[in-house]
């Protein structure tokens, strides 16, 4: 489980698909698919990386630059 401070929580925002596409086209973000590897293989956004939510704390795939914008996505609201 991840706990966010109120300052961190204020930085989280929902984005529309066109907003994400624009950000990806400008090359200033990392797209992170949080589903399982099997689900990622079936369908994912091109250029995204797969970091299943259960491995988020131990992954080495996150960028070292703390200023990198991260967009996490999955199957939407369930």
For 28-42, the pLDDT digits (tens) are: 799 999 999 999 999
SS3 (DSSP) at 70: strand
pLDDT digits (tens, 9 = 90+) for 20-29: 999 999 987 9
Q: pTM higher than 0.85 for the full model?
A: no
- Strand order across the 49-50 sheet: 49-50, 29-33, 69-73
Secondary structure tally for the chain: helices H, strands E: 3, 3
């Amino acid at each position: 489980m991840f706990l966010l401070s109120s300052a961190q929580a204020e930085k989280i925002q929902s984005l529309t698909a066109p907003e994400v596409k624009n950000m990806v086209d400008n090359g200033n973000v990392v797209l992170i698919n949080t589903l399982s590897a099997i689900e990622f293989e079936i369908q994912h956004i091109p250029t995204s990386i797969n970091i299943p939510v259960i491995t988020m704390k131990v992954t080495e795939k996150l960028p070292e630059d703390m200023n990198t914008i991260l967009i996490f996505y999955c199957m939407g609201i369930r």
